[in-house]
């Protein structure tokens, strides 16, 4: 009982920090992914090449390594001490840049799946390229890519635990410290249950969203 009175509040505080990382990542990576996807499909070859290299690098190297590079890179490369306050900033930037690369490829596959006839019809109706994208293409793309995006979002729930490498006391870090302190697996079990419940909530929201988007059928 005494252990639970310590474990639950500490894990709760860690979960709040994990949730912050999750939300900040989505707010940054979802729109950035669109920009990168459009750059990747650009007819301007240098821009397309930069986007391709970016996506390849971000997907081809471990997120943990990217986080550590952002955390310690300014000091070792530039001699700039960012201070302890840089931890969350480095974490947020690392997660956003990494997940934007994955989202970009999902966006790209969705955009390229739209039939050419839709673009032609929009042009006949006098839509500009921007209007065509936001009013005709994007709503269809969202419906088509939602399952793939859902998988990445659920992965993000678990990946927030990687913030421990920067010394951020998210839920996994708290669980590890509590398990060592009490010499017990119970903190890990409770943390696993919280992750699972949060994942179920995310799945529920994604399923409800997908049902609401059933206005569009292939």
Say if residues 137 and 118 touch (Cβ distance below 8 Å): yes
92 domain residue, yes or no? yes
SS3 1: coil
Q: Which residue has 């990217």 as its token pair?
A: 66
Give the model's pLDDT for residue 31: 94
37 domain residue, yes or no? yes
203 domain residue, yes or no? yes
Give the model's pLDDT for residue 1: 57
218 domain residue, yes or no? no
Q: Alpha-carbon dihedral of residues 97, 44, 135, 106, nearest 10 degrees?
A: -40
Q: What CATH number should be reported for the domain holding residue 6?
A: 1.10.3720.10
Integer CA distances (angstroms), 138 to 58, 145, 161, 173, in order: 24, 10, 32, 39
Integer CA distances (angstroms), 66 to 53, 156, 200, in order: 15, 15, 28
- Please give the average pLDDT of every successive group of 10 residues along the chain, which has 218 residues: 78 93 96 94 94 96 94 84 84 96 94 83 82 81 87 94 90 90 89 94 89 64
Alpha helices in 83-217 (DSSP H): 86-112, 116-124, 129-131, 138-159, 171-182, 186-212
What is the total count of domains within the chain? Answer: 1
217 domain residue, yes or no? no
SS3 114: coil
pTM above 0.85, yes or no: yes
CA nearest neighbour of 48 among 33, 57, 56, 38: 38
Range of the domain at 132: 2-212
160 domain residue, yes or no? yes
184 domain residue, yes or no? yes
What CA–CA distance (Å, rounded) separates 33 from 205? 21
18 domain residue, yes or no? yes
């Amino acid at each position: 009982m005494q252990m639970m009175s310590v474990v639950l509040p500490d894990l709760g505080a860690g979960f709040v920090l994990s949730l912050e990382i999750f939300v900040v990542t989505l707010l940054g990576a979802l729109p950035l992914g669109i920009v990168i996807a459009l750059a990747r499909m650009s007819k301007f070859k240098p821009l397309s090449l930069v986007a391709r290299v970016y996506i390849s690098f971000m997907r081809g190297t471990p997120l943990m390594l990217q986080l550590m590079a952002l955390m310690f890179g300014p000091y070792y490369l530039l001699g700039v001490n960012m201070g302890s306050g840089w931890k969350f900033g480095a974490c947020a930037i690392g997660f956003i840049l990494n997940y934007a690369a994955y989202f970009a490829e999902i966006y790209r596959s969705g955009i390229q799946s739209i039939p050419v006839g839709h673009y032609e019809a929009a042009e006949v109706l006098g839509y500009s390229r921007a209007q065509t994208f936001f009013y005709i293409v994007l709503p269809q793309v969202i419906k088509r890519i939602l399952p793939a995006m859902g998988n990445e979002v659920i992965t993000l729930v678990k990946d927030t635990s990687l913030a421990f490498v920067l010394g951020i006391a998210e839920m996994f870090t708290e669980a590890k410290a509590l398990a060592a302190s009490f010499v017990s697996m119970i903190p890990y079990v409770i943390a696993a249950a919280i992750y699972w419940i949060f994942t179920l909530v995310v799945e529920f929201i994604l399923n409800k969203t997908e049902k609401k988007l059933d206005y569009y059928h292939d």
